Amino acid sequence: MISQLSWKIGGQQGEGVESTDRIFSTALNRLGYYLYGYRHFSSRIKGGHTNNKIRISTKPIRAISDDLDILVAFDQETIDLNAHELRNGGVVVADAKFNPTLPEGIADVRLFPVPITQIAEDLGTSLFKNMAASGASWALLGLPLEIFEKAVEEEFGRKGAAIVEKNVEAVRRGAQSILDQAGGPLKEFELEPSDGQAKLFMIGNEAIGLGAVAGGCRFMPAYPITPASEVMEYLIKKLPKLGGTVIQTEDEISAVTMAIGANYGGVRSLTASAGPGLSLMMEGIGLAGMTETPVVIVNTMRGGPSTGLPTKQEQSDVNAMIYGTHGEIPKIVIAPSTVEECFYDTIESFNLAEEYQCPVILITDLQLSLGKQTAEGIDFKNVEIRRGKLATEELPALEDNKLFKRYEFTEDGISPRVVPGMKYGIHHVTGVEHDQEGRPSESPINRKKMMDKRMGKMSKLRIQNPIHYKTNHENPDIIIVGMSSTGGTIDEARERMEAEGIKTAHMTVRQIHPFPTEEVAERVKQAKTVVVMENNATGQLADQIKLHVGNGEKIKNLLKYDGTPFIPSEVHKACKELI
């Protein structure tokens, strides 16, 4: 028996690859296996190669596998593009319709042509071919077919019993076809039993949406954009049940300003976008900083610049999120590194936005946003709502011709906040510089005091666990540093290096801005070499470490910006070369 296995399905976009993957992985999740997925898809609705890769394990996993055990192919292009990942002894399950062949140089791989299209057409439509294909690959694993059939029923139940039965029949025929060829399930692919425990299985965007609901968000204005749209789609289903709403705006400028307006009115609101949308939001984010209005913005990083690679992995928005606005404003940038942190950090983003009265940007990358994976349990008992200095009791009466001091100078730089309509809470709000009551002011003395007030309130900010740090050594040979989705990949590379006698450590930076200088500096000074791995061309995270911590002579870049995530073997090899 084996403890883990990697499975991939590929074909043309729009022919059922996504639904096949969803049902296959759902069935495995029902059995209690840990899963980690990655979607490779084209930036168009239909056509172009797409594939989904799932790693299945009896233990928690956080990274894409280096190789591949089973490839399910709807066309020859899928085999040509992905067969190089197959390990010795791997299997290709392909539609017999296109007369599949293995590329030159691919040895010790078994090819099973299955009449996938024919099975589907015999049942009435080619739409059933994805079920025939998934039934065939499921059968190779020797797993209970009834579990898979149950997942099919859940997927298609709303379409009626007849459709469910035809899909189930397609699964059975696909399974029987390959079992006839292979002589039964393949023993080398027999998975060890899972723990059988029910587990959450979601993408990061869904976890962000769930966190928003749990954190008290009741309004989301947004404009659809890959890879952020699933946050909006999730909340469209959930918020109306809780008295909230989602509005699809005409553009991202409208989205951010509506979110700012809602928060000014006392309603927790967020918007979500990706690089191009965030560029349009920058003036609005500056308005939130100047008026000290809380707002939460989710940025799901993708390939840039311009339209760039809309459906591919990249981490190149770090500088934009820190420095993007004109002028200087207080701002918080947080980068969750797991699905669970996507949930908890979304809640904390709302708390911080209200406590510090400023924009909070939650950044993820495409892999974390869209990669479906097993999540360790989420504990709703840990959810805490903190609204900062928002007034909830009756305010003292105002003197004649006086306004409420919304921007009052205080010791911690954070002023009392009210919502519109509160008696004696009337004040002026403007995007130009202003005095304590919000009235426009160009006084040099006032300007300096207001800037010091706004910027000073961030000086001691620390989120819970601004960094994650793992090591078994007091003075490691190498610290590998990453952010967002790279943690699991780093850990697997470290395991291989430790087995070779290299002393390693792993640091994930979660608080991007204000930078956690002391925490990072303490770890950097302990290592001989610091390798910062990130999906961009210029080493933006590494530059932040050099800027705030120094030690530039020991910091080395490990960069990848071809649109694909790091895999453990790449990190292992590169780090050995860098030390």
Q: So where are the chain's domains? A: 4-198, 202-382, 467-578
Q: Are 38 and 373 in contact (CB under 8 A)?
A: no
Which pLDDT belongs to residue 228? 98
Number of H-type helices and E-type strands within the chain: 18, 20
- Distance CA(442)–CA(480), nearest Å, equals 48
pTM of the shown model: 0.95
SS3 180: helix
Q: What pLDDT does residue 456 have?
A: 95
What is the identity of the amino acid at 235? L
CA distance 116 to 137: 11
Amino acid 510 reads R
Q: In CATH, what number does 4-198 get?
A: 3.40.920.10
- CATH fold of 202-382: Rossmann fold (3.40.50)
Q: Within 10 Å of residue 306's Cβ, how many Cβ atoms? A: 8
Per CATH, 4-198 and 202-382 having the same topology is answered no
The pLDDT of residue 72 is: 96
Task: Find the helix packing angle between 161-182 and 129-141, rounded to 10°.
Answer: 50
Question: Does CATH number 3.40.50.920 belong to domain 467-578?
Answer: yes
pLDDT at 46: 76
Phi, psi of 330 (to 5 degrees): -70, 140
User: From CA 209, how far away is CA 112, in angstroms rounded?
Assistant: 41
The pLDDT, as a whole number, for residue 107 is 85
Separation of CA 240 from chain center? 24
Task: Provide the pairing of β-strand 270-273 with 245-248.
Answer: unpaired
Q: Which of 362, 70, 25 is nearest to 217 (CA)?
A: 362
Q: What is the DSSP letter of 125?
A: -
- The per-residue pLDDT for 45 is 73
Given its phi and psi angles, is residue 72 left (phi above 0), alpha (psi -120 to 50 degrees) or beta? beta
Which segments within 431-576 are labelled E, that is strand? 467-471, 478-482, 504-509, 511-513, 529-534, 555-559
pLDDT recorded at residue 47: 80
| Residue 410, CA distances (Å) to 386, 404, 459 in order | 20, 14, 14
**pLDDT tens per residue across span 113-149:** 999 999 999 999 988 998 999 899 999 999 998 999 9
Neighbours of 130 (CB within 10 A): 29
Contact 478, 502 (CB under 8 A): yes
Note the pLDDT of residue 13: 87
What are the DSSP calls for 427-465, one per residue? ----SS-B-TTS-B---HHHHHHHHHHHHHTTTT---SS
What is the distance between the alpha carbons of residues 438 and 245, in angstroms, rounded to a whole number?
30
What Cα–Cα distance (Å) separates residue 90 from each residue in 143, 192, 290? 18, 18, 59
Q: Which residues of the chain have pLDDT under 50?
A: none
Give the C-alpha separation, 359 to 8, whole Å: 40
CA dihedral sign, ordered 24, 27, 33, 35: positive
pLDDT digits (tens, 9 = 90+) for 530-551: 999 999 999 999 999 999 999 8
528: three-class secondary structure by DSSP: coil
